[in-house]
Amino acid sequence: MTAELVSAGHTVAGIRTAITPVLARLAAGSAERERTREYAFAEVRDLAAHRIGLLGVPVEDGGAGGSLRDVAELVTALARADSNVAQALRPTFLVAERVRRPGFPHRERTLRRLNAGDLFAGSGNERTGGASGSVNATLRRAGDGYVVNGEKYYSTGGLYATWFSTSATDEDGTVVGFTVPFDREGVHRLDDFDAVGQRLTASGTTRLVDVRVHADELTPHDVPPAAPWRGSFAQLYLASVEAGIAAAALDDAVRFVRAKARPIKHSTATRSVDDPYVRETVGRIGASAQAARSAVLLAAEVLDAARDGDRVAAAEAAVTVAQTGVIAIESAFRAAELLFDVGGGSATDRALGFDRHWRNARTVANHNPRQWKAAVAGAFHLTGEDPPTTGLF
């Protein structure tokens, strides 16, 4: 590793301290941004400037070091402030996790980009009517390089990112990956993501029109690892986002009860903070948030311990992460629903944006249905059947 990267000097504690005021700004403006569809460009630039993507990258590679628990805690804190931003940064954290592997393609180049504070986006998803996972984008030889044409959807974080990674099918029918800068001619970012929640994750379409790709930007699309559950960290990340949403619902409940809520006419209390049923409701929201966070941190520790282990440990970790996904999703749903029980009709005022928590939790949950996670975990416990190796476990 180059001396330049090793001497970067970032630490877990340093990054957490540096971004604390940024998280406060994100949280303060979260509801208003959702209402007006305004992206958090300034705050994301600040997070990138503090090299948030280096968390979890080994110190010897110029990273901040830290465990998967450290990463999960940070992602949960991000999502607690603004789950849209946490989701938009997911591709960058996925790159940071993958670059830990010595055989990661273009590893030195990617580490330099992370050290520069660059952000990443990527997507293999297409809306072409073909089978799920089919790649219809084309890569054709042109002079000493290649030209790509196609469209990719769910380009999460695309409006924030510097680099875009995706795949295309070459003239031999082989699917190959590549990474290009977003400012390259022919790369068009469309802000057309139209889900009920997570509306500001910049997860729209990336259109590739005669985009030049150099030979040294290509990567093998699918290199099988010893333990095939490469999606476990990506799924842990989604669970961390759900845990952050549950915590954000608790924050809103506490603020609303303290500052705005009034007891109903037949309440025995003169203040909402003293109403026994409001207290119970807030306690249940807190319990849901705690359950999600605890499950996420446990899964992070199990996955960390299995990261360099054998296939059996990796399968067990994948199941633990799957179960965590179920807990985190359902905890976020419950917290988001109970939030409305701490007040009367005023709790539904659109300006408060309380509905965003359920909408955002629901949209994250739909990425990978929890029914599959629960069923896969059940099969593992009952018969020892391994989880699927689709990348979703």
Please state, in angstroms and rounded to a whole number, the distance separating the CA atoms of residues 136 and 69: 38
Which is it for strands 187-189 and 206-213: parallel, antiparallel or unpaired?
antiparallel
First to last CA, the chain: 31
What pLDDT, on a 0 to 100 scale, did the predictor assign at position 267? 77
Residues 6+ apart with CB under 8 A from 318: 229, 231, 232, 387, 393
Q: pLDDT tens digits, residue range 346-367?
A: 999 999 999 999 999 999 999 8
Tokens found for residue 91:
């591709």
Neighbours of 274 (CB within 10 A): 12
Nearest to 286, CA basis, from 225, 243, 228, 237: 243
Predicted confidence (pLDDT) at residue 306 exceeds the cutoff of 50: yes
Which residues does residue 125 pair with via DSSP β-bridges, in sequence order?
A: 153
Q: Which domains does the chain have, with CATH numbers?
A: 3-118 (1.10.540.10), 138-220 (2.40.110.10), 232-383 (1.20.140.10)
Of 205 and 124, the structure prediction assigns the larger pLDDT to: 205
Of 176 and 308, the structure prediction assigns the larger pLDDT to: 176
The pLDDT of 230-259, averaged and rounded, is 96
For the chain, the 3-state helix, strand and coil shares in percent, each to the nearest 5, are 55, 10, 35
Q: pLDDT tens digits, residue range 198-219?
A: 999 999 999 999 999 999 999 9
Of 84 and 223, the structure prediction assigns the larger pLDDT to: 84
Please state, in angstroms and rounded to a whole number, the distance separating the CA atoms of residues 336 and 356: 9
Please state, in angstroms and rounded to a whole number, the distance separating the CA atoms of residues 317 and 387: 10
Which is it for strands 145-152 and 163-169: parallel, antiparallel or unpaired?
unpaired
In order of 13, 80, 275, 340, the CA distances from 343 in angstroms are: 38, 21, 11, 6
In this predicted structure, which of 27-41, 95-109, 144-158 has the lowest mean pLDDT?
A: 95-109
What pLDDT, on a 0 to 100 scale, did the predictor assign at position 202? 93
Q: pLDDT tens digits, residue range 58-83?
A: 999 999 999 999 999 999 999 999 99
What pLDDT, on a 0 to 100 scale, did the predictor assign at position 128? 72
Q: What are phi and psi of 213, to 5 degrees?
A: -125, 125
The pLDDT of 249-258, averaged and rounded, is 96
- The two most distant CA atoms of the chain are separated, in Å, by 80
Please state, in angstroms and rounded to a whole number, the distance separating the CA atoms of residues 284 and 137: 48
Q: pLDDT tens digits, residue range 38-54?
A: 999 999 999 999 999 99
Predicted confidence (pLDDT) at residue 3 exceeds the cutoff of 60: no
- For the packed helices 232-259 and 68-81, what is the interaxial angle rounded to 10 degrees? 40
In percent, the amount of the chain with pLDDT more than 70 equals: 95
